[in-house]
Amino acid sequence: MSEINWAALAPILVLLMGFVVWCWVDISRNEVRYLPKWLWAVICIISIPIGAIVYLLVGRDTSPIK
């Protein structure tokens, strides 16, 4: 079994964490659909990056401001 090359994985990990933080900021600033905001935030952090992608596709409220 080979060792993990952390220097090669570091940029990917930084991008993934930045994506999750960006989704958290988006959740806090905008309205969401189907679930409460706190639950979308938990989903985003538990299942990186799938949770954040699901939030952007399903949970983000893109309706125009009333």
Domain ranges of the chain: 7-59
pTM tops 0.75 = yes
pLDDT (0 to 100) of residue 33: 92
Q: Which amino acid is at 20?
A: V
Q: Are 54 and 43 in contact (CB under 8 A)?
A: yes
Q: How far apart are CA 44 and CA 38, in angstroms?
A: 10
Nearest to 37 by CA among 27, 48, 51: 27
Nearest to 43 by CA among 31, 53, 29, 33: 53
- 15-55 pLDDT, tens per residue? 999 999 999 999 999 999 999 999 999 999 999 899 999 99
| Secondary structure class of 47 (helix, strand, coil) | coil
Q: Are 51 and 19 in contact (CB under 8 A)?
A: no
